[in-house]
Structure 1
Amino acid sequence: MKTRAVRLYGKKDLRLEEFELPPIKDNEILAKVVCDSLCMSSYKAAIQGADHKRVPDNVAEHPVIIGHEFAGELIEIGSKWADQFKVGDKFSIQPALNYEDGPVGILSAPGYSYPYIGGDATYVIIPNEVMEKNCLLPYHGEGFYPASLAEPLSCVIGAMHANYHITPGSYVHKMEIVDGGRMAILAGVGPMGLAAINFVLHREDCKPSLLVVTDIDQVRLDRAASLYTVEFAASRGIDLRYINTSVMQNPVEELRALTNSEGYNDVFVFAPVRSVVEQADAILGFDGCLNFFAGPSDPKFSAMLNFYNVHYAYTHVAGTSGGNNEDMVEALDIMNKGLDPAGLVTHIGGLNAVPEATLRLPEIPGGKKLIYTHITMSLTAISDFAELGKTNEVFSELASICDKYKGLWNVEAEAFLLANANKLS
Structure 2
Amino acid sequence: MKTEAVRLYGKKDLRLEEFELPPIKEDEILAKVICDSICMSSYKAATQGTDHKRIPDDVAENPIIIGHEFAGELVEVGAKWAGEFKVGDKFSIQPALNYADGPVGILSAPGYSYQYIGGDATYVIIPKEVMELGCLLPYKGEGFYPASLSEPLSCVIGAMHANYHTTPGSYVHKMEIVDGGKMAILAGVGPMGLAAINYALNREDRKPSLLVVTDIDQGRLDRAASLYSVDFAKSKGIDLRYVNTGAMDNVAADLKAITDGYGYDDVFVFAPVVPIIEQADEILAFDGCLNFFAGPGDSNFKAPLNFYKVHYEFTHLVGTSGGNMDDMKEALEMMSKGLDPAGLVTHIGGLDAVIDTTLRLPEIPGGKKLIYNHIRMPLTPISEFEEKGKTNPLFTELHEICQLHNGLWNLEAENLILEKWNKLT
Q: Which amino acid in the other structure matches residue 191 of structure 1?
A: P
Partner of 2:165: 165
Following superposition, the deviation at residue 423 of structure 1 comes to 4.9
In 2, Cα distance between the equivalents of 1:308 and 1:369?
42
Q: Secondary structure at the match of 2:188?
A: coil
Q: Which amino acid in the other structure matches residue 14 of structure 1?
A: L
Q: Secondary structure at the match of 2:214?
A: strand
Q: Secondary structure at the match of 1:308?
A: helix
Q: Secondary structure at the match of 2:300?
A: coil
| CA distances 1:272-299 after superposition (whole Å, capped 9, x unpaired) | 0111111100100100000000000000
| CA distances 1:339-375 after superposition (whole Å, capped 9, x unpaired) | 1000000000000000010000000000000000000
Identity of aligned residues (%): 77
In 1, Cα distance between the equivalents of 2:418 and 2:393?
14
Mapping for residues 303-318 of structure 1, pairs under 5 Å: 303-318=303-318
Following superposition, the deviation at residue 167 of structure 1 comes to 1.7
Partner of 1:81: 81
Partner of 2:249: 249
**Alignment check: 8 A CA contact 1:43 1:358 kept:** yes
| CA distances 1:10-60 after superposition (whole Å, capped 9, x unpaired) | 000000000000000000000000000000000000000000000001111
Partner of 1:99: 99
Q: Secondary structure at the match of 1:42?
A: helix
In 1, Cα distance between the equivalents of 2:169 and 2:205?
26
Partner of 2:115: 115
Partner of 1:12: 12
Following superposition, the deviation at residue 250 of structure 1 comes to 1.2
Q: Secondary structure at the match of 2:407?
A: coil
In 1, Cα distance between the equivalents of 2:143 and 2:65?
24
Partner of 1:355: 355
Q: Which amino acid in the other structure matches residue 203 of structure 1?
A: R
**Alignment check: 8 A CA contact 2:65 2:114 kept:** yes
Partner of 1:398: 398
**Alignment check: 8 A CA contact 1:394 1:423 kept:** no
Q: Which amino acid in the other structure matches residue 407 of structure 1?
A: G
**Alignment check: 8 A CA contact 2:166 2:287 kept:** yes
Partner of 1:218: 218
Q: Secondary structure at the match of 2:246?
A: helix
Partner of 1:323: 323
Mapping for residues 12-411 of structure 1, pairs under 5 Å: 12-411=12-411
In 2, Cα distance between the equivalents of 1:48 and 1:183?
34
Following superposition, the deviation at residue 337 of structure 1 comes to 1.9
TM-score with structure 2 setting the length:
0.99
In 1, Cα distance between the equivalents of 2:326 and 2:341?
18
In 2, Cα distance between the equivalents of 1:383 and 1:420?
20
Q: Which amino acid in the other structure matches residue 173 of structure 1?
A: H
In 2, Cα distance between the equivalents of 1:334 and 1:143?
14
In 2, Cα distance between the equivalents of 1:182 and 1:65?
42
C-alpha RMSD over aligned residues: 0.6
In 1, Cα distance between the equivalents of 2:212 and 2:390?
41
In 1, Cα distance between the equivalents of 2:261 and 2:13?
50
Q: Secondary structure at the match of 1:246?
A: coil
In 2, Cα distance between the equivalents of 1:111 and 1:167?
41
**Alignment check: 8 A CA contact 2:293 2:319 kept:** yes
Following superposition, the deviation at residue 390 of structure 1 comes to 1.5
Following superposition, the deviation at residue 420 of structure 1 comes to 1.2
In 1, Cα distance between the equivalents of 2:128 and 2:32?
17
In 2, Cα distance between the equivalents of 1:338 and 1:252?
37
Segments of structure 1 that go 5 or more residues without pairing to the other structure are none
**Alignment check: 8 A CA contact 2:24 2:125 kept:** yes
| CA distances 1:111-169 after superposition (whole Å, capped 9, x unpaired) | 00000000000000000000000000000111000000000000000000000001221
**Alignment check: 8 A CA contact 2:141 2:337 kept:** no
TM-score with structure 1 setting the length:
0.99
Q: Which amino acid in the other structure matches residue 177 of structure 1?
A: I
Q: Which amino acid in the other structure matches residue 115 of structure 1?
A: Q
* Structure 1 residues 279 and 16: alpha-carbon distance in aligned structure 2, compared to 1, 3 A threshold: same
In 2, Cα distance between the equivalents of 1:423 and 1:260?
60
In 2, Cα distance between the equivalents of 1:362 and 1:420?
31
| CA distances 1:348-405 after superposition (whole Å, capped 9, x unpaired) | 0000000010000000000000000000000000000001111211100000000000
Following superposition, the deviation at residue 338 of structure 1 comes to 2.1
**Alignment check: 8 A CA contact 1:392 1:424 kept:** no
**Alignment check: 8 A CA contact 1:353 1:378 kept:** yes
